[in-house]
A = this chain, B = another copy of it.
Amino acid sequence: MNRKMPVIIWGATGFTGGELLRIIARHPYMEVAGAVSRSKAGTPIGAIHPHLRFAYQDVNFISPEEGGKIDAGLVFLALPHKAAAETAKKRLSTGQKVVDLSADFRLRDHEQYKRWYETEHPCPELLEGAVYGLPELHRQEMASAKLISGVGCNATSAIFALLPLAKAGIIENARIECRVGSSEGGAEAKEGSSHSLRSRSLRVVSPFLHRHMAEVIQELALPEENISMTVTAVELVRGIQCIAHVTLNRTLREADIWKLFRAQWSNEPFVSVSPAKPAHFRIPDPRFVLGSNRVLTGFALAEDGRRVIAASAIDNLLKGAAGSAVQSANIMCGAEETAGLEMMPLYPA
């Protein structure tokens, strides 16, 4: 791969679109051949993403029509649900590979899509060939895929917290708690997202159900009645801390769980298991992965050997969205998985 591969980003004005522009500006094998935005066509990228002005000097957003004409083997879709599926269908029909950051191709069962996203899936026939966008779970299928889905950021954090225990079939039930930053809400101004109303809040946005649960149920094969997902908006812009209050279906020793975590994560390029000591670092804090594609995961076992806190920390715009998307695209295009994704966490910040 000497010349860089041209890629196009559809929906490049949002936070995940901006994050894709940011990553690809420093990617060794990819370069942005077009940043599509219906509403902002003709506007300089730096006017919407001021931190990127220097890296996209004299580059404007382009219209979907212009975007459709550019010869690029890979497209990233950072579009709202439903619009993404329709665009994906067109792009695939022209032979382009697609990484879609929306929810449209995450759920294999279009009935579940209808239930959680309250709308008919526009092209259920594409679901069969789509691969769920988490490389740590599906890197083999990704290598030959044409369509890779996005990942829900809350779902991603829950999967990284629970996977070793779920795979061992030892979860009786789990009360999953995600503490999240404001950037999850996206760039558009919404009523509750004004700084005065959002800052310093501890806003429980979903007591039991969150649509990202559907991905946790699907990917971890956990029965829905055994889990719940509570999401609390906290004083963060980026970052998710997932704390799952798990009850095991048997009694285990701490070392048994360490073995499960080690076996699952020791060879993963982006995942680290938090140390047991010092104790205040045991349950992962997203501060320590801010700005990186890294995942911290860890656990604590109660004296009774049955109650566990299984936890994870990610940057929701990176590992929870654009980072996993580029990681998946690397695999799909035969590049090494970590290409362009080795930024170091920024701390303190």
22 contacts between A and B (CB under 8 A): A15-B348, A22-B345, A22-B347, A23-B344, A25-B344, A26-B343, A26-B344, A49-B347, A51-B288, A51-B344, A52-B344, A53-B275, A54-B272, A55-B344, A183-B348, A238-B349, A290-B346, A290-B349, A291-B349, A346-B346, A346-B349, A349-B349
Residue-wise, chain A 221-250 has the 8 Å CB interface mask toward B (1 for contact) of 000000000000000011000000000000
A121: Cβ under 8 A from any B Cβ: no
* Contact size range, A: 35 or more
The answer to whether B344 and A22 touch across the interface, beta carbons within 8 angstroms, is yes
CB distance from A75 to the nearest CB of B (A): 21
Contact partners of A272 in chain B: CB under 8 A: 53-54
Contact partners of A51 in chain B: CB under 8 A: 287-290, 344-347
**How long is the Cα–Cα vector from A199 to B346 in the complex, in angstroms?**
20
Contact residues, A314-349 vs B (CB, 8 A): 342-349
CB distance from A238 to the nearest CB of B (A): 5
A204: Cβ under 8 A from any B Cβ: no
Known A-B contacts A183-B348, A291-B291; the reply to A342 vs B50 at CB < 8 A is no
A294: Cβ under 8 A from any B Cβ: yes
| Number of identical monomers bound together in the oligomeric complex | 2
Known A-B contacts A26-B342, A342-B26; the reply to A347 vs B50 at CB < 8 A is yes
The answer to whether A47 and B278 touch across the interface, beta carbons within 8 angstroms, is yes
CB distance from A323 to the nearest CB of B (A): 12
A117: Cβ under 8 A from any B Cβ: no
Residue-wise, chain A 12-33 has the 8 Å CB interface mask toward B (1 for contact) of 0001001000110110000000
Contact residues, A172-211 vs B (CB, 8 A): 183
A64: Cβ under 8 A from any B Cβ: no
Measured CB to CB, the nearest residue on chain B to A270 is B54
Further contacts, 6 of them, CB under 8 A, given A25-B344, A51-B344: A22-B345, A46-B275, A51-B287, A290-B346, A343-B344, A346-B346
Contact partners of A275 in chain B: CB under 8 A: 46-47, 53
Contact partners of A52 in chain B: CB under 8 A: 344-345
**How long is the Cα–Cα vector from A287 to B52 in the complex, in angstroms?**
12
Contact partners of A290 in chain B: CB under 8 A: 51, 346, 349
